[in-house]
Structure 1
């Protein structure tokens, strides 16, 4: 299994950061350069307990489909999503949102492994772990930007 943890403080209220993290539109905006689209959207247009979504994207020039489910939703503290079907042998993403003196501490824990046994473990270790870390950081850049912009436009 490959694993990494990212932490970032976002200058916005926890409720705002949490809500944006459950917005499929934010995910699509953050992954636009990969041509990511939703083949199956969550009911009601936002992720809730038990929501499923199927994403289509291109990474390394290869088209992928990934079907995930959101669960353990505990507003505004966190939620999890995991692969139901797709390119990974297994994939789990734990999202945690904590109060912080300057806004919200966002903590992402990502645990995954590629298929194909020893070859997959080598791929994970050599480059996929860092590639996935960069993807989540890119997503979090968009999340922080949108959350902080919303904070600036709210009436005092």
Structure 2
């Protein structure tokens, strides 16, 4: 049952960071290399409390579907998405935003259980935990770039 915690300082207002983190469009852009796209539920714009999204993506050469739902929501400080169906046995992803000086500290806590019992545990140790940490870090760096360059029309957020 790995728990991945990532912290990222962003030189932008908390509201901007919060909205970018719940943007379906920004998420798809940040993980374009997985061919991830929203195919059901909220498929564009900003997701909110009790709303769900179904993602389709290619991970480890296999096309997969995963549905998650926003189960907790306290703008602009906190939201949680949890897996409803998908490849994991379960996951809970907390998104925490703290005002920090003139910017925002964005914290992700990704708590998950892999499928397949002891085989899943071995996969976690060999590659899956690092893969998930890299994916989350990449997403956060993308959010940071957009938030800190908000005035540049190239980085305008949809939604």
Same-fold call, TM cutoff 0.5: yes
- Bigger drift between 58-67 and 33-42 goes to 33-42
Instruction: Give the direction of change, closer, same or farther, for the CA distance of 1:96–1:19 in structure 2 (3 Å limit).
Output: same
Q: Show structure 2 runs of 5+ residues with no match.
A: 154-159
Give the RMSD, CA atoms, in angstroms. Answer: 1.5
In 1, Cα distance between equivalents of 2:145 and 2:151? 10
Q: For structure 1, which runs of at least 5 residues remain unmatched after alignment?
A: none
Q: Match of 1:58?
A: 58
Return structure 1 stretches of 4+ with deviation > 3 angstroms: none
Counterparts of 1:87 and 1:109 in 2: how far apart (Å)?
Answer: 19
Q: Distance in 2 between matches of 1:133 and 1:65?
A: 19
Equivalent residues of 2:38, 2:44 under 8 A apart = no
Corresponding position of 1:147: 147
1:126-137 pair list within 5 angstroms: 126-137=126-137
Alignment coverage as a number of residue pairs: 153
**TM-score (norm: length of structure 1):** 0.93
1:2–1:125 CA contact under 8 A, matched in 2: no
Residue 46 of structure 1 aligns to a residue whose secondary structure is coil
